[in-house]
Amino acid sequence: MQSCLSPLLRGLLAAGLLAASHAGFALTVYTAGPAKLAQELAAGFEAQSGVKVEVFQGTTGKVMARLEAEAANPQADVVISASWDSAIDLDARGWLLPYESPNAAQVPALYKAPNYVAQGLSALAIAWNPASGTPRPTDWADLATAPFANLVNMPDPAQSGTALELLSGLANAQGDAAWQLFASLKDNGMNLAGANAQALNPVLQGAKAAVFGAVDYITYGAQAKGEQVEIIFPASGTVVAARPMMILKSSSRQDEAKQFIDYVLSDEGQQAVARTYLIPARADVEAKRPKLADIATLPPADAQERAGREALLQRFGALFERK
């Protein structure tokens, strides 16, 4: 049969088979930023294992939407999210492969489960421009005072999973007092400004004074580039956002996926995590910024708190007159 094919057709067929072979060989990782970390981990794992890594990088929302769109024909092997809730959701659906990496021994129990484990951690903070002419804030409520009128941005919790986690944590810990704070911030002109970078950029440019609920590692990265910004962890407490890694049960590359999780949790992988100003998941790897022990944190979310987040988002949207 092959002899009946033209040389051109045989060439195209061979190229197609080669491409399919290469696609099957690659380990596919879907990851929510930071992009530089994803690239560094992929390159480091390829150098160590010889396994090629294909990376799709986007927001957690985009990653989850792509997983949903591909549900009938899954393409990802490993998923790294910026939202612990996404791992809980995928696990509840039965999509995740049980795996406990031997390198996860030093990951605190709070940040690992049988089917997923943290890559690293971040905490939400106030990002403040000291050249803004406003007094240095020390707590969330300071951003609702007169000096900060119309000078505060917040990532939109409808677009930012970490912003929603902060709202939820504050509402769960403070009850009515949290809603009074949200109302005061609204009355003081706080602006909901899209995703995390959209909220931070005007502060770096001097158009705004502060971000309520800035992602700390993004802000530390800006600071390291010489931007005039300070990261302040509120005295009353903040939310820690763990970034879960998980292997899809549908993966045809399960052994390589396990090796990738091992690599991210290795000394080399966790040092790469630290270089992006995230807190490494492993407690025995040094961070390049304040550790969790140095930050006042709110209680971790339980199942009841997570179940109430959709209603909380609707209430918050109504407060800010979102349609």
Q: Mean pLDDT, to the nearest integer, of 45-63?
A: 93
Chain segment 161-171, per-residue pLDDT in tens: 889 999 999 99
Token pair of 113 as six digits: 């489960």
Chain segment 188-247, per-residue pLDDT in tens: 999 999 888 899 999 999 999 999 999 999 999 999 999 999 999 999 999 999 999 999
Distance of CA 231 to the CA centre of its chain: 18
- Please spell the DSSP secondary structure of 257-282, one letter per residue: HHHHHHHHTSHHHHHHHHHTTPEESS
Q: Residue 178's domain is classified under what CATH number? A: 3.40.190.10
Chain segment 82-134, per-residue pLDDT in tens: 889 999 999 999 999 999 999 999 999 999 999 999 999 999 999 999 999 99
Identify whether residues 55 and 139 lie together within a single domain. no
Distance of CA 249 to the CA centre of its chain: 22
Token pair of 297 as six digits: 């944190």
Identify whether residues 139 and 66 lie together within a single domain. no
The rounded distance, in Å, linking the Cα atoms of 17 and 12 is 9
Of 59, 49, 56, 50, which is closest to residue 70 (Cα–Cα)?
A: 56
- Residue 26's alpha-carbon distances to 19, 77, 253, 260, in angstroms, are 11, 10, 8, 12
pLDDT higher than 60, residue 256: yes
Identify whether residues 144 and 166 lie together within a single domain. yes
Identify whether residues 39 and 99 lie together within a single domain. yes
Identify whether residues 64 and 110 lie together within a single domain. yes
Q: Centre a 10 Å sphere on the Cβ of residue 258 and count the other Cβ atoms it contains.
A: 18
Identify whether residues 159 and 305 lie together within a single domain. yes
Domain range for 188 = 122-240+297-319
Identify whether residues 154 and 170 lie together within a single domain. yes
pLDDT, position 135: 98
Token pair of 4 as six digits: 């009946």
Q: What percent of the chain has pLDDT over 70?
A: 92
Identify whether residues 185 and 282 lie together within a single domain. no
Tell which wins on pLDDT, 138 or 8: 138
- Please spell the DSSP secondary structure of 113-182, one letter per residue: ETTEEEEEEEEEEEEE-TTSSSPPP-SGGGGGSGGGTT-EEE--TTT-HHHHHHHHHHHHHHTHHHHHHH
Of 171, 169, 178, 219, which is closest to residue 199 (Cα–Cα)?
A: 219
Work out how many domains the chain is built from and give that number: 2
Chain segment 18-44, per-residue pLDDT in tens: 333 344 579 999 998 788 999 999 999
Rounded to 5°, the CA angle 194-199-204 comes to 155
pLDDT bucket at 295, cuts 50 / 70 / 90: very high
Tell which wins on pLDDT, 323 or 52: 52
Task: Establish whether 217 is an annotated binding residue.
Answer: yes
Identify whether residues 68 and 126 lie together within a single domain. no
Identify whether residues 43 and 108 lie together within a single domain. yes
Identify whether residues 66 and 167 lie together within a single domain. no
The residue to which tokens 């140095």 are assigned: 294
- pTM confidence score: 0.85
Identify whether residues 176 and 302 lie together within a single domain. yes
